[in-house]
Structure 1
Amino acid sequence: MNQENPEGHNAGLPTPAGPGGQQALALSRQQALSLDLRAGEPAADSDEINLLDYWRIIVKRRWTVLATLGIVVVTALVGTLLMTPIYRASTTVQIERDTIKVVEVEGFTPTESPADRDFYQTQYELLKSRSLAQRVISQLNLANDPVYLEMSRPSPWRALLGGGDDEEETLTAAEADSREDAKMSRMITGFLANLSIEPVRNSRLVRVHYDSPDPAYSQRVVNAVAEAYIAANLERRFDASSYAKTYLEDRLQQLKLKLEDSEKQLVEFAQREKIVDANDGSSLSTQSLGELNSAVAKAQDERIRAEARWRQAEAATGMGLASVLDSSIVQTLQETRAKLQAEYQDKLRVFKPAFPEMQQLKAQIDELDKQLGAEVANIKASIRAEYQAALAQEQLLKAQVGALKDEVLDLQSRSIQYNILKREVDTNRQQYDALLQRYKEIGIAGGVGTNNISIVDRAEVPTNKHKPRLALNLAVALLLGLFGGVLLAFVFEHLDDTLKSPEDVEKQMGLSVLGVIPMLKAPMTPAKALEDPRSAFAEAYRSVRTALQFSTDTGVPRCLLVTSASPSEGKSTTALTLAKNFAQLGKRVLIIDGDLRNPSLHRSLDKPNDIGLSNYLAGAAKATEVIHATDSPHLMFMPTGPLPPNPAELLMGPKMLSLISIASEKFDQVIIDGPPVMGLADAPILANMASGTLLVVEAGETRISLARNALKRLYAARAHVIGALLTKFSAKHAGYAYGYGGYNYYSYGAQPEPKKLARR
């Protein structure tokens, strides 16, 4: 650790007085090292957000917040009242999705999607286009309109800065045209700056707004914008339809010639190849082949049925065929035979078979059997004849089909080029018909009735101004002012690197805060405040006295040095008040004014400063000669005496250490009012000799770096710093709305007189 050597005197400092000097030396070195590490590292809990700390910052800087808020609000109020009233006229336009299809090809026709916003976004941009603005400016002749000229007149500031119109001068034609173009460009830019488009959500309506200081002018311009937009849309549609119509006429003429040429080639090829095309597009041979195929299938079916009957007739007996049974002749013969057979059986019971009548009946039955057999044979012969006829017909048809197949195959080989020519004719005819239909549609679409834009509500003359809106501007100013004020408060707080609260002292310096002394309001002085023992000021010092009694293991340090980092932090008042408080406890107290450069205790005690500590250290007086009694019992005072030219050399001499040792034995408490630490070697010398050092810090004034450097110097001098005392602390200024440490419960002279018990 690098130890400071202020003014070259600290190197020869003696060890701390009293027992435990080595322990104090080790402790001071450890504290100095920890202070160096703490100075180079951020706080451990710097990432944590403490809303209470933020609130305290806002309360502490409340006047900054309120001043910023007031300035912003007043500025907004004055600016709003001085602004020129602007009136907004609005018209509502309906835009439908209806586009012209010049060429429609199947499979490539675009379909409209509900989420498609490209069309409407295009229309919004057209409404804000420079060409439309130029058209309205020309139609209304705004360049010569008095209202527009008044609006475009340069402001006084612009005129003062030279931003007005140029003076008349002789210009060439090119320069004049260039200046006119620039003037028109400025007019269009200013026109569009006052024009706004507002699409109505979830609808096909668009509101067009125009702002200007003149209500009638706003209404006239916005209506002209809507009308010019509709007219421009119609012109674009008409130009597109005219171009499409001309294009389709040329294409129709080309396709017509191409169709005629392809049809001529088809007819010539058909005549040359002897190809006859039926109405359905097929040849006669193909149709005949199809008909013969149907006849062959039918003949084959008939032949199969006939063959099945013939096979059945061959396999069955004579009377087992269904055709035999269904024959009316067979049925008649069987009925007749059945009657004769019944008669024969009936007479057989009476006559013998050889009886002539019986033989006659038998002959009739046999004749009928012969007839039945002949009839069955005839039926079988007819079935066989049918089968043979069906087979012959089938074979004949198959022969004809074979011949036609050869003819069709030959025709197909000759019809390849024919089909190619025919498909080309069909394709050309379809294209021609489609373009002819589109040509007719374009002619209809080019009419005025196909406009997809219409005005729903025309603009009326506005009666209420659109801006400035006082309530809105004040609300925005209130929010911005509040935000800006809070932001400035945090910026000022961040830039303020002073020790403001006990937490700052403990966090930044690593010292225990033994007490907090409140700030006195003018014209209150410390002497007057101490006259009231119930005041917060007096109570705070009594709390410090109590804290000092528990600051070390042995109680209050026998010799206590009171010092600070810089002058005017309240160390002299602290030393004197603590001395009086200890004297009030009955202790014998000696207070020594050790500030040999700027003494002040003799004025506070109203004692002479002719002879004192400097005389004793120089050997010109004894200790008993420079110690004076005070008005307070048990309190003795040693002034500084004449200011020496070399205070550090006197304090480093053996007499100062001897004085402290003897005084510590003779008195119960020795308190030294030391000089500031920074810039002087006196305070480190006295801190090395004293048993304990109390560092006084002024709230809101002592910088963190200054306090740390002072503490490092004390540690380098092997001082035993027992804690810090925060003086001139204002709970309200520090952001503690309810006070700190209960000081708001005390007030100077505000406590009523205690009531006395009445004697009975």
Structure 2
Amino acid sequence: IETFRDDYFQTQYKLLQSRSLAERTINKLKLWEKEEFSGKKQVTSEELKNPLFRQKMVDQFLDRLEVKPIRMTRLVEVTFKAHDPGLASECVNALFDSFVDMNIETKSEATEQATEFLSQQINELKKEISQKEQELQNYGQEKNIVILSDKETTILDKLSELNKALTEAQIDRVRKEAYYNEIKNASPDYIPEALSNPLIQRLREDYLKLSREYAKMQEQFQPEYPEMQRLKAELDSARELLKNETESLVKAAYSEYQAALKKEKSLQELFDRQKEEAFRMNSNAILYNSLKIEIENRKNLLESLLKRQSETGVSARLKGLRTSNIRIVDRADIPIKPSSPKKFRNLLLALFLGLFGGVGLAFVMEYLDNSVKSVEDVERYSGLPTLGVVPAFGENARAYAYYYAYRSGEDGRKGKLAERKEGKKEETEPKSIELITHFAPESVFAENYRSLRTALLLSGPQSNLRSMIVTSALPTEGKTTTISNLAVSLAQMGKKVLLIDADLRRPKQHRIFNMKNHDGLT
């Protein structure tokens, strides 16, 4: 895209995404026949006439279209999304063909306006000449005019000179008015004076040179770099000078048009005064000759306008030969692979997100988890030393059921509730986890309780521990099991142990040791 105006580039980008251009492309390719666009295998003529249907087609076309300018160049990249790769290629190529056609039509508008203006002037002038000739003929026949005197001839000569000057002024005014109308809305690159003006060409070369230097330095330095800022300021200044100098051509054309218009009005006033004087000298003869002269001048003006119209027509035909300042560098080929989804990239992205998300989630859960999981957690939260650790009773200890509630058979499976049936012997005393240090002294659990016993004996002053209390914050945390096994392990050392069950609500020690509890602690 060849131009030096920044707003021109932005205008072209918007035109590429305009609804009118999209509709031209849709009509050119008949996209309503594509099931991908219409959603139907066949669209009826009534649906094509429906504005909502066509609007939906245009919206869908624009949603798939993407226009992306390439930085520091005059190029633009256009992409189009479609399930059919051939259709995507056709849409891009048809869009650019329609865009070039639209650009040519836009450029020819100024020439067409000038041609229309000249045609209108010529038609009016032809009517005026025909009317004047008829008036001249009627006037000569009515007044029987044959010859003029020398004095009258002198007056007519002066009138003829003024009329000739007026005609030349009118021709000059029409030419300059047509030229001004032609360039006032035209691109600067198509103003002949701009192409042949040495100053504009030099400013254009300076602008291009600064643009290349700025683009080259931009690859190495940030915009805040002093040299970059200096180049940016020079680039902006060069662009402004080029723009001002180009606009001055339009202003100069307007000034010349106004000057020609003023000159025409001045000569018209002189001609009118001379015409009045001629009427006073010999109104009949002079009027006849003045009409004759006026007709001749009108014919000269008509000839000039016809010549100008011919030149404008040639220019219009040349501009209609598919010449445009926009050209397609690379046409869209049929893509060999889809643009999306990008499976490899998505797989890598999912892998990284899953990995980092999982690790992050684990860290968050660990950070939010305030439960106690290890001996170190107990010591850190309580500030007290650990005397021993007894593991939870799992599959290996299921043979030992709670004595006061459930019984176990020899195979280790959970038994039924203890029942004493009349006329039968009492069942054999089962093993219980509250006395595991007695029933299974070689087990890991018994060894843990003996380790706890040793730690307690060594924790008191001079290792002379006489009494202790076992408690916990919540029920069913193992107080009863711990104290009963601890008492048994101490007794196994030959020590005399007094075990006091201080559980006022749910005492169980008497059941564990098969004793009666008539009085209770209180």
**TM-score scaled by structure 2?**
0.46
Structure with the bigger RCO (C-alpha within 8 Å, sep 6+) is 1
Higher-strand-fraction structure? 1
**TM-score scaled by structure 1?**
0.33
Highest Rg: 1 or 2? 1
Higher-helix-fraction structure? 2
